[in-house]
C-alpha cells in the first residue's frame, strides 16, 4: 500500500527581537490539523546570537526539530543526512527550496532575531496532487505571493474573490430552493 501525501512545504517566519510568543500560532496550527487541512511534520525555532551562531529555542515539542535541523546542516549528519533521506534534495534534482536555500534563509537572519521553520504537509491537496500526476502534470513553479507582489493586482483580486463568493452563495441558495433558479 502506497502512502499518499500532499505537497510538503517549509515555511520560514522571522521574528524581530521584540516579538512576543503567546501561543496563538500553535493554536492556529492545532486548529488546521484538527480540521485535516495540514499535518505538521517538523518545527524548529532558532535564534541568531550576536556572534552569528544559530541556537535552538525551547519551543519544540518532544522529537520535533530533527528534520529541519538536518536541512539546515545543524544535525549530526548535516546536509549529507538530509540528502540521503530525501534524494530529491540532491544538487540538480531539487524543485523548490534546496538545502542550500534553507541554510541561506537561516544565515540571512539578523543577530537577535528568531525564526521558526515549519515543515508541513498540505493534506487538503492530496487528491489534487494525485489528479495532476495521473494527468501527466509536473510542478514547475510554486510559492506564496507576498503582499508586495500582489499590490499591482489587489483590486482585481478582491473583485474576483467577491464575485466568486457571490456566485457560490447564489448556487447554494438555488440548491436549497430550486424554484429560485427558475425565476
pLDDT in tens, 97-153: 666 777 788 788 888 888 888 889 999 999 998 999 899 998 877 777 788 888 888
Q: Domain containing 173: what range?
A: 151-177
- Answer yes or no: is 1 within a domain: no
- Answer yes or no: is 134 within a domain: yes
Residues 80, 164: one domain? no
Dihedral in degrees, nearest 10, Cα atoms 54, 44, 78, 100: -80
Q: Give the residue among 45, 75, 70, 80 at the shortest CA–CA distance from 59.
A: 45
Range 57-84 average pLDDT = 62
Report the number of distinct structural domains present in the chain.
2
Residues 89, 171: one domain? no
Top-confidence range, 10-14, 19-23, 46-50, 97-101: 10-14
Residues 15, 69: one domain? yes
- Answer yes or no: is 113 within a domain: yes
Residues 134, 169: one domain? no
Residue 1's pLDDT is what? Answer: 43
Least-confidence region, from 45-54, 75-84, 98-107, 170-179: 75-84
**Hey, how many other C-beta atoms are within 10 angstroms of the C-beta on 46?**
23
Residues 21, 107: one domain? yes
Residues 104, 22: one domain? yes
Say yes or no to pLDDT of 52 above 90.
no
Residues 155, 109: one domain? no
Amino acid at each position: 500500500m502506497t502512502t499518499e501525501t500532499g505537497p510538503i512545504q517549509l515555511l520560514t517566519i522571522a521574528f524581530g527581537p521584540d516579538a512576543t510568543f503567546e501561543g496563538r500560532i500553535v493554536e492556529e496550527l492545532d486548529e488546521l490539523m484538527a480540521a485535516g487541512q495540514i499535518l505538521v511534520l517538523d518545527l524548529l525555532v532558532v535564534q541568531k546570537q550576536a556572534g552569528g551562531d544559530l541556537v535552538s529555542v525551547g519551543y519544540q515539542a518532544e522529537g520535533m526539530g530533527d528534520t529541519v535541523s538536518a536541512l539546515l546542516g545543524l544535525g549530526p549528519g548535516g546536509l549529507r543526512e538530509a540528502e540521503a533521506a530525501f534524494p530529491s534534495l540532491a544538487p540538480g534534482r531539487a524543485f523548490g527550496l534546496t538545502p542550500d536555500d534553507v541554510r541561506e534563509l537561516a544565515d540571512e537572519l539578523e543577530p537577535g532575531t528568531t525564526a521558526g521553520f515549519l515543515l508541513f504537509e498540505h493534506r487538503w491537496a492530496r487528491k489534487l496532487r494525485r489528479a495532476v500526476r495521473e494527468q501527466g502534470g509536473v510542478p514547475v513553479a510554486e510559492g506564496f505571493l507576498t503582499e508586495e507582489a500582489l499590490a499591482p493586482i489587489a483590486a482585481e483580486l478582491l473583485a474576483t474573490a467577491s464575485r466568486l463568493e457571490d456566485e457560490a452563495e447564489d448556487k447554494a441558495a438555488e440548491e436549497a430552493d430550486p424554484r429560485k433558479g427558475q425565476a
